[in-house]
Amino acid sequence: MPPSLYLLSPPLRSSHRLFFPLFCFFFVSSLILCSLPGSASSPCENPPVIFNFGDSNSDTGGLAAGLGFPVNSPNGRTFFHRSTGRLCDGRLVIDFLCQSLNTSFLTPYLDSLANSNFANGANFAIVGSSTLPKYVPFSLNIQVMQFIHFKARALELVTSGAKGLIGDAGFRNALYMIDIGQNDMADSFSKNMSYAQVIKRIPSVITEIRNAMTTLYDQGARKFWVHNTGPLGCLPQKLSLAQEKELDHYGCLSRYNSAAKLFNEGLLHLCQEMRPQLKDAAIVYVDVYTIKYDLIANSTSYGFSSPLVTCCGNGGPPYNYNIRSTCGNPGSEACRDGSQFLSWDGIHYTEAANEIIASKILSMDHSQPRTPFDFFCQG
């Protein structure tokens, strides 16, 4: 499907109109966009090649392609009208970001039936991925190793005369996106580690991200876009399974969110530290945590009801999450209107929420340094 067809999205729902004037202000003042994600026009006439590394928050079908793991309906029902391997009712944040650059959605690296459509990059993100432990499918360092193989093979084919593949300039000018760390924090809590033990692991996680960025830099990467992790304690899955429930004002698990914020502080420090070390590299840190927590804290202002309730599940009140009957599996049911919910399946956000998250990312308000996403368009 050509990029132009990807960009045909439904009109903004009424709750989004509250933020349209604010977004337009950023459009006029910074000239970073022609419109909200999903519009049919874009100032990015030469979109960059994009390589993405991460977990289920940005997996566009890698788990299904690589392990044959079924991601059943109703996943994908909103935009694609079929399951695409995304754990969402429609598009992910990365899909909206791609649309804003007028480029097609990223093809999973492991998808051998994608007509070799890797001209605009590849997605190495896989559901369940973390940085630790190393050398297990599909930890961050394995994703980087896959990229190195992908690059070597692509350049080999280009040298032999193959067309439609990424050449040396494409890799050099590409945007390298990293969105990982959530599972490192979440899995630690699920293994009944104490809060102190979870916090003690954070430096090791940050080190793995540092190693990945350094390796990519040595491979020629010069443009990095790094997302921090969201408020773990606000996920219905965690709320449903947690043994001790010390909740904050909005009903989220305080310790989980505290751990996520400490991880994010370490990640921000890493990005600041690496800028002078990686000469001539642009490193943008994006505070996704603040964006997502704001959606929860002010959910009614955005048109959402019950921000801590799962749309697709079978757990009953208060969170509608049951680990034995998760979305897409027998016994689960999906809500009628996903646009009223923040949480799709207890872990991942709905397309409606992802659209707002992407819009706020594109506003530059949560980026350090403030950098328009179309900065990465090729000249």
pLDDT digits (tens, 9 = 90+) for 367-377: 999 999 999 99
- Within a domain: 24: no
Distance (Å, whole) CA 42 – CA 205: 36
Q: What is the mean pLDDT of residues 230-247?
A: 95
CB atoms near residue 231 (< 10 Å): 25
Query: Which domain covers residue 296, as residue numbers?
Result: 29-302+352-367
Round to whole Å and give the CA distance between 186 and 230.
Answer: 11
Q: Poorest-confidence range of 13-17, 156-160, 343-347?
A: 13-17
Residue 370, Ramachandran bin (φ over 0: left; ψ between -120 and 50: alpha; else beta): beta
Burial environment of residue 113 by CB neighbours within 10 A (0 to 12, 13 to 18, 19 or more): exposed
Catalytic pick among 343, 348, 366, 367? 348
Q: Residues near 274 by Cβ (< 8 Å), separated by ≥ 6?
A: 210, 213, 214, 281, 283
User: Residue 111: inside a domain, yes or no?
Assistant: yes
Q: Give the pLDDT band of residue 232 (cuts 50, 70, 90).
A: very high
| 175 in Cβ contact with 50 (< 8 Å) | yes
Any bridge partners for residue 247, and if so which? 253
Residue 33 pLDDT greater than 50, yes or no:
no
Q: What is the CATH number of the domain that holds 135?
A: 3.40.50.1110
pLDDT, residue 114, reads 58
CB atoms within 10 A of CB 34: 15
In a domain, 4, yes or no: no
C-alpha R_g of the chain: 20
Q: Is residue 296 part of a domain?
A: yes
Identify whether 56 is a catalytic site residue. Answer: yes
Q: Is the pLDDT of residue 188 over 50?
A: yes
345 is catalytic: yes
Question: Is residue 311, in this structure, part of any structural domain at all?
Answer: no
131 three-state secondary structure: coil
158 in any annotated domain: yes
Tokens of 49: 């090649």
Question: What is the Cα–Cα distance from 267 to 277, expressed in whole angstroms?
Answer: 15
Residue 174's pLDDT band, with cuts at 50, 70 and 90, is very high
Q: Is residue 201 part of a domain?
A: yes
Provide mean pLDDT across the span 274-292: 97
Dump pLDDT digits (tens) for 39-96. 334 478 899 999 999 999 999 999 999 989 899 999 999 999 999 999 999 999 999 9
Domain count, the chain: 1
The band of 300, judged by pLDDT with boundaries at 50, 70 and 90, is very high
Query: Whats the size of the chain, residue-wise?
Result: 379
Judged against a pLDDT cut of 60, whether residue 323 lies above it is answered with yes
Query: Considering 56, 58, 299, 359, which one is annotated as catalytic?
Result: 56
pTM confidence score: 0.89
The pLDDT value given to residue 116: 61
Mean pLDDT of 241-249: 91
- Which one is catalytic: 345, 359, 366, 367? 345
Distance CA 124, CA 161 (A): 26
Residue 285 has φ and ψ, to the nearest 5°, of: -100, 130
Contacts of 169 (CB under 8 A, 6+ apart): none
